[in-house]
Amino acid sequence: MLTVKDLQQKGNMKVLCPDVLPDREITGCYCGDLLSWVMSRASEGDAWLTVMGNINAVGVAVLADCACIVLTENAAFDDNALQRAKENGVAVLQTEKNSFETAVLVSELLKG
């Protein structure tokens, strides 16, 4: 089983929210930046890799029930988004790797 915490530790990612990561399981992965597209296609339990760090991205993660948001290429996460993520208990990680490299990592970790 891969948890959000495992991904953060094995990917050496920065935790933006919350302070203590949940043991929520990651069951898949989705990459995308167009919010409606992502909302329609991402699955529950996905690690969502994106460069879109605004308040609406948090809304999409909540509605699509993603396990976490991973901001790739150190994409910024604005203050409004952080506030909304805290309110909704959305885990947000940040990595310097791009979405392709991060997706490969998630894939490998999911395979165990």
Partner 1 sequence: MENIKLHYDVDSNDFSCAGEASGKIKKALKDLGFDASLIRNVAIAVYEGEINMVIHAEGGVIDAEISPEKVTVVLKDKGPGIPDIEQAMTEGFSTAPENVRALGFGAGMGLPNIKKYSDTMHIDTEIGVGTTITLTFNF
Query: Which residues in this chain contact partner 1 in the complex, by CB under 8 A?
Result: 33-37, 39-40, 44, 52, 54-57, 59-60, 62-65, 80, 88
| Residue (12 or 80) nearer to partner 1, CB | 80
Q: C-beta of 108: minimal distance to partner 1 in Å?
A: 28
What the block records as the tokens of 97 is 């790797």
DSSP string across 32-46? ---HHHHHHHPPTTE
Burial of 12 (0-12, 13-18, 19+ CB in 10 A): exposed
| Residue (43 or 109) nearer to partner 1, CB | 43
Q: C-beta of 56: minimal distance to partner 1 in Å?
A: 6
| Residue (36 or 112) nearer to partner 1, CB | 36
